[in-house]
């Protein structure tokens, strides 16, 4: 009878970079599952645990024997393996011998190509403990890190030098020597506790003894300890975004929290600057006043050891931080000596891109485009004025010392500098918001002026790079044009701007001579945005075929989303399937025969009542399709009325009539229906038939 036992694996090493640990733990769990599948070992729930010095895994209910395996080996056709009396002949015997089996293991089985000889071998599963000896090597060799290293003369690579392997199964050590690493029932505690060798007898014993030696191995529990300690110590609200909390969590093995302070004069700096100095450079937690939201002159630090000489240790933390804050204060004070207008002038000497001119040139293009977008959107005159004014200053902070040092807060620095010299709040806000969204899930601009500027700036960037041939290919996108396009799409949708991608390409191209008159280049630009929009919508849950069908439609994004919702709601209905069938037949015929351009439908050439009925049905549906105020559901209902007369038409009427005039007239009618539906709704033949 198969028994089940728990398993514990730990790889001990020197301190791993904090950002490497979580991905390594996830991969470790995947590799254990692969190992079990490969070795036919059944197991229960698996969990991983990590600190800077160890990657650990536990698995419950691991079977003590591998599953039995049946191996089937296909041989020659049965007629070549059987004697006249139906027994296996010499060829069959040689086949069995070559595969390490006997005649008793041979069978005749039917296949798609007739009866064949098969050898069926049953391999009994071995002991799990023996197979587990290969587990550390299997995982160790397959764990990948952004950067790996070799140490000593060992051939293996790892994030940092590995020092020991702990492997227990059924509370017994498994000998799994690999790469010269010691392997046994031993682990090591926190360095600050002497890093003593600890003998482990079980999984509960592992966690208990490690904690006594200054190691909380469960990173989930350790993270919560840090959060509670920081919240309890701070006089205000500690700033603990997930990415900072995760990083600090994997910098310590047992968190000891403490409070530090800095001179109150530094709270005059923009809060984003303080947060960067405290969070990014030092990995401390900044603290804000819950009543005012202003930064307090203190921080919380999580350490890896108890404070034996707390005053000196905290003074060291404060001294390092004060040096960084002094630099930031110097940059801030020096920058304020130059006005934003003068700083904007200096952009004439800073190149945006060799063929696209300076940052000043870019600002001028964006200023003109923002004005055009505002007029086309019907935005309030004050919002357009604000956007244009902000466009003249939007890149000025790139010439500041503060942004040179802290590039991630470009735009935000510009906002504070505009406010410091008495500029309008609305202009300062638009300058900050024109970078939004900075990444896929980032917040969007909150103001109309900021949205105009964000769309104009990103459109100018994408159009400019397309105009000089720097177009993303495959996975390569060094100028982050896909991110910029997604930012345009999200902003257009959020503010319900009435522009099609064709509108944006045309308006933006007018400022780039190389692409302005090139229809083919503008088409590539539109296709690029269509692809990004399609991927964005599919990622949001819309079916791929629906978005493909809508790709050719020139419509604002709000209308496209409304159409997608309407199609998704009815695409499985019988009336939709009937309509799609008629549309597909029209599309297929028109793909083979194009009618003369410019000709209209002549009812006098109709020879069948079904022709007239289809024409009348189309003339009734057409106004709803072309009405800009019609709902997309209403358009679908109007098109569904074409299904019955369309089906009757194809049953009774031969489109390719012998009479050239009749044939041409029918083609013109069908082409008008096809173009009217595709241009105003969707290409329904691309909807997958169910």
Which of 181, 212, 243 is a domain's end point? 212
Is residue 364 domain-shared with residue 260, that is, in the same domain? Answer: no
Q: How many domains does the chain have?
A: 5
Q: What is the CATH number of the domain that holds 635?
A: 1.10.730
Question: So what's the pLDDT on residue 502?
Answer: 93
525 inside domain: yes
Asked if residue 515 has pLDDT above 90, the reply is no
Task: Say whether 71 sits in a helix, a strand or coil.
Answer: strand
Q: Which pLDDT tens digit goes with each residue over 651-686?
A: 998 888 888 899 899 999 999 999 999 988 889 999
Does 551 reside within a domain?
Answer: no
pLDDT digits (tens, 9 = 90+) for 195-216: 789 999 999 999 999 999 999 9
Tell whether 48 and 101 lie within a shared domain.
no
User: C-alpha distances in angstroms, 385 versus 184, 375, 418, 450?
Assistant: 73, 11, 16, 11
End-to-end CA separation in angstroms for the chain: 49
Same domain, 138 and 242: no
104 shares its domain with 136? no
Residue 566: partners with Cβ closer than 8 Å, 6 or more residues away: 631, 632, 633, 635, 636
The answer as to whether 344 is a domain residue is no
Decide if 186 contacts 197 (C-beta within 8 A).
yes
At 516 the pLDDT is 62
- Closest by CA to 367, choosing from 389, 350, 347, is 389
Give the pLDDT confidence score for residue 1 in this predicted structure: 65
Mean pLDDT to the nearest integer, 68-75: 85
Cα angle at 448 between 444 and 449, to 5 degrees?
100
Between CA 490 and CA 487 the distance in angstroms is: 5
Instruction: Judge whether 418 lies within some domain.
Output: yes
Task: Identify the CA nearest to 405 among candidates 277, 572, 597, 250.
Answer: 277
Is residue 577 located within the same domain as residue 634?
yes
Rounded CA separation 250/222 (Å): 9
- The pLDDT of residue 314 is 87
Phi/psi of residue 7, each to 5°?
Answer: -130, 145
Please give the average per-residue pLDDT across 263-290, as a whole number.
Answer: 92
User: On the CB side of 458, how many CA atoms lie within 13 Å of its CA?
Assistant: 28
Whether the per-residue pLDDT at 690 is higher than 80: the answer is: no
**Average pLDDT taken over every residue of the chain:** 92
Report yes or no on 20 lying in a domain. yes
Whether 469 and 570 share a structural domain = no
Average pLDDT, stretch 547-562? 91
- Return d(Cα 690, Cα 614) in angstroms, integer: 26
Residue 411 domain flag: yes
**148 phi/psi in degrees, rounded to 5:** -120, 170
Based on the fold, state whether residues 8 and 58 are members of the same structural domain.
yes
Average pLDDT value for residue range 211-226: 96
The answer to whether residues 622 and 566 belong to one domain is yes
With vertex at residue 374, the alpha carbon angle to CA 371 and CA 380, rounded to the nearest 5 degrees, is: 120
Q: How many helices (H) and strands (E) does the chain have?
A: 28, 17
Q: How confident is the model at residue 102 (pLDDT cuts 50, 70, 90)?
A: confident
Q: Which DSSP state fits 349?
A: G
Last residue of a domain, one of 335, 360, 384: 335
197 and 154 belong to one structural domain = yes
pLDDT at residue number 308: 64
Of 567, 480, 490, nearest to 535 by C-alpha is 490
Question: Given this model, what pLDDT does residue 592 score?
Answer: 80
Q: How confident is the model at residue 309 (pLDDT cuts 50, 70, 90)?
A: low
Lowest mean pLDDT among 310-319, 454-463, 512-521, 587-596: 512-521
Residues 30 and 166 occupy one common structural domain: yes
Inter-residue contact 303 to 252 (CB < 8 Å): yes
Residue 544 pLDDT = 94
- CB-based contacts of 411, cutoff 8 Å, min separation 6: 394, 397, 431, 432, 433, 434, 435
Q: 483 with 403, same domain?
A: yes
Ramachandran class of 506: left when φ > 0, alpha when ψ lies in -120 to 50, beta otherwise: alpha
* Lowest mean pLDDT across 125-134, 331-340, 454-463: 125-134
Q: pLDDT value at position 69? A: 81
Nearest to residue 262, comparing CAs of 278, 273, 249?
278
Q: What is the pLDDT of residue 304?
A: 86
CATH number, domain at 464? 1.10.3210
The better pLDDT of the pair 548, 123 is held by 548
Domain boundary among 149, 182, 212: 212
Pair 44, 166 in one domain: yes
Cis, bond preceding 411 (omega within 30 deg of 0)? no
Domain that holds residue 252: 219-335
CB 299 within 8 A of CB 285: yes
Any domain includes 550: no
pLDDT at residue 307 greater than cutoff 80:
no
Q: Residue 557: inside a domain, yes or no? A: no
């Amino acid at each position: 009878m198969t028994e089940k036992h728990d398993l514990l694996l730990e790889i001990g090493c020197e301190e791993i970079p904090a950002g490497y640990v979580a991905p390594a733990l996830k991969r470790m769990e995947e590799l254990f599952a692969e190992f079990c599948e490969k070795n036919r070992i059944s197991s229960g729930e698996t969990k991983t645990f990590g600190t800077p010095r160890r990657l650990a895994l536990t698995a419950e209910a691991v079977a003590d024997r591998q599953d039995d395996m049946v191996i089937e080996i296909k041989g020659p056709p049965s007629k070549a393996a059987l004697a006249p009396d139906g027994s296996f002949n010499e060829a069959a015997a040689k086949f069995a011998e070559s595969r390490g089996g006997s005649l008793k293991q041979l069978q005749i089985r039917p296949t798609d190509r007739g009866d064949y000889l098969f050898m069926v071998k049953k391999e009994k599963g071995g002991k799990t403990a023996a197979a587990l000896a290969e587990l550390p090597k299997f995982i160790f060799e397959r764990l990948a890190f952004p950067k790996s290293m070799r140490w000593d003369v060992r051939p293996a690579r790892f994030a940092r030098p590995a020092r020991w392997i702990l492997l227990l199964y059924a509370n017994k050590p498994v000998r799994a020597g690999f790469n010269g690493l010691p392997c046994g029932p031993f682990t090591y505690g926190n360095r600050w506790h002497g890093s003593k060798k600890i003998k482990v007898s079980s999984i509960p014993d592992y966690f208990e003894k490690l904690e006594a030696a200054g190691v909380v191995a469960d990173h989930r529990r350790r993270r919560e300890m840090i959060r509670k300690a920081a919240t309890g110590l701070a006089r205000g609200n500690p700033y603990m975004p997930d990415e900072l909390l995760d990083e600090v969590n994997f910098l310590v093995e047992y968190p000891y929290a403490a409070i530090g302070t800095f001179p109150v004069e530094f709270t005059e700096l923009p809060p984003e600057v303080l947060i960067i100095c405290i969070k990014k450079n030092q990995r401390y937690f900044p603290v804000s006043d819950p009543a005012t939201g202003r930064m307090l002159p203190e921080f919380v630090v999580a350490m890896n050891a108890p404070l034996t000489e707390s005053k000196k240790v905290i003074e060291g933390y404060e001294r390092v931080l004060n040096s960084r804050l002094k630099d930031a204060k110097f940059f801030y004070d020096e920058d304020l000596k130059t006005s934003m207008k003068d700083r904007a002038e200096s952009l004439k000497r800073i190149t945006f891109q060799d063929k696209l001119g300076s940052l000043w040139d870019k600002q001028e293009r964006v200023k003109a485009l923002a004005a055009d977008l505002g007029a086309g959107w019907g935005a309030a005159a004050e919002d357009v004025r604000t956007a244009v004014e902000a466009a003249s200053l939007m890149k000025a902070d790139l010439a500041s010392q503060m942004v040179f040092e802290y590039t991630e807060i470009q735009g935000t620095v510009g906002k504070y500098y505009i406010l410091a010299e008495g500029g309008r709040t609305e202009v300062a806000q638009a300058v900050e918001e024109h970078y939004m969204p900075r990444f896929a899930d980032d917040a969007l601009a909150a103001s109309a002026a900021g949205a105009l500027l964000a769309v104009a700036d990103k459109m100018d960037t994408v159009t400019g790079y397309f105009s000089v041939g720097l177009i993303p290919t495959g996975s390569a996108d060094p100028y982050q044009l896909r991110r910029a396009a997604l930012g345009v799409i999200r902003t257009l949708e959020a503010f319900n701007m009435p522009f099609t991608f064709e509108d944006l390409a045309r308006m933006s191209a007018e400022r780039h001579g190389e692409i302005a008159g090139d229809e083919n280049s503008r088409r590539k630009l539109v296709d690029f945005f269509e692809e990004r929009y399609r991927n964005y919508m599919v990622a949001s849950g819309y079916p791929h075929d629906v978005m493909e069908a809508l790709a050719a439609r020139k419509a604002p994004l709000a209308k496209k989303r409304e159409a997608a919702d309407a199609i998704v709601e009815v695409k499985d209905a019988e009336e939709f399937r009937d309509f799609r069938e008629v549309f597909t037949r029209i599309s297929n015929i028109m793909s083979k025969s194009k009618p003369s351009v410019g000709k209209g439908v002549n009812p006098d050439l109709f020879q069948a009542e079904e022709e007239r009925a289809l024409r009348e049905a189309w003339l009734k549906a057409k106004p709803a399709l072309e009405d800009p105020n019609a709902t997309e559901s209403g358009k679908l209902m109007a098109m569904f009325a074409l299904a019955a007369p369309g089906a009757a038409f194809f049953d009774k009427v031969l489109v390719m009539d012998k009479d050239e005039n009749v044939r041409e007239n029918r083609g013109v009618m069908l082409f008008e229906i096809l173009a009217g539906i595709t241009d105003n709704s969707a290409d329904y033949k691309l909807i997958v038939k169910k």
